[in-house]
Amino acid sequence: MRRTFEIEKTCPRTGARAGFITTAHGVVPTPAFMPVGSQASVKALTPDDVRDVGTEILLSNAYHLYLRPGVDVVEQMGGLHRFMGWDGPILTDSGGYQIFSLASLRRVDDEGVVFRSHIDGSEHFLTPEGAVQLQQRLGADIIMVLDECPPYTKEKMSVRRAMERTLRWAEKCVKAHRGRDQQLFGIVQGGVFSDLRRDSVAFLTALGFPGYAIGGLSLGETKSETLAMVEETVAFLPTDKPRYLMGVGSPEDLVENVDRGVDLFDSALPTRTARNGALFAASGRINIHNAGYKGLDQPIDAGCDCYTCQRFSAAYLNHLFKSKELLAYRLATIHNLRFVMRLMERMRQAIVQGGFGEFRREFLENYRTTDEGVRLAQKQRWLERSVGVHDEGDGPEDPGVVA
């Protein structure tokens, strides 16, 4: 079997590592971040914009594309890459997160999931085998097993049931998988329970996946709980396979989890917070709506090389958001994604050069993070609004615009 992942350098004092994931549509240097394009579009951006900010791989969602425009349409148009005008690697999620986010619109059993479409109310049945087949028809480079993502809870039995069902589904996905050009990743579940995480890893690694995702986190638990579960999981995952932490994208969390040995990330946080006017800067997140930016004749972040910061002032961004001009969303999204991509590039360089520990220390000293209590309250409000009511396909994240 051909090697699809190679490690270039590992930091001797931390778990951080730099490597390469080889796919049918190109090589991805890691650590890497995937912008979310659930419906074959990164909101507000063209594929050229996405490439220009430094994106090497992006994420789309089989569930959303199945409902609209339909996998048949995407196939007729030459596959997902041609359909959306993106020639780089694509990872597709299977729809497992929608089992969580559309709780009132689905029924789950060992055979699969019955969904009621959030678009028109029509009913659909998705099996583990069907999830693999849909993703293979879309033509993604990396595809995911169908998993059951339980909500954050301290009630262990419900988490165990979801984890065990995910493992049974993983076996079915492996048997249904065909072809060498698409890599099928397993997903580790187990909530905030160390023993469940270990059991999940042991079962999945025996199936021999080419990569492993860490799922079921960033769903309302504290950051210390998230980091503890990542550490627990990574400690048992194979060192020669990529590790993908699902749904995490705030700058400080990217740094902390690269430190713990994670290679791949996705989150809608950079794009969604951008559309809300929350922009990343070296000192932390800022709220461009604030009056202090009305007359500020300098870029959002003086050290940023993105199109937005090179061409426009913070005052102009403030004006666009106050005026509700559509250009605001594009310029803000370009900036936030470029900030994240630069962060990934800088971390990779620090690992290769042997200075990641110092990089991490300096970044976390200078970057002001959202207060933990405020963050959890915002997350809970967002979950209450989204679960069982509406799903934009953006995945779990910190939705706030605290500055």
**Which residues participate in catalysis according to the annotation?**
93, 266
**Residue 217 · residue 247 · CB < 8 Å:** yes
Helix, strand, coil % (nearest 5) of the chain? 45, 15, 40
Tokens of 272: 């969604």
- Integer Cα distance of 212 and 144 in angstroms: 9
Burial label for 323, CB within 10 Å (0-12, 13-18, 19+), is exposed
Whose tokens are 């749904």? That residue is 247
Instruction: Give the DSSP H or E segment for 185.
Output: strand 183-188
Task: Single out the residue of 153, 152, 148, 149 nearest to residue 165, CA to CA.
Answer: 148
Length of the chain (residues): 403
Instruction: Give the DSSP H or E segment for 139.
Output: none
**Residue 223 · residue 373 · CB < 8 Å:** no
- Integer Cα distance of 134 and 126 in angstroms: 10
3-state SS class at 275: helix
Alpha helices in 139-249 (DSSP H): 156-176, 194-207, 223-234
- Integer Cα distance of 62 and 98 in angstroms: 11
**Residue 344 · residue 180 · CB < 8 Å:** no
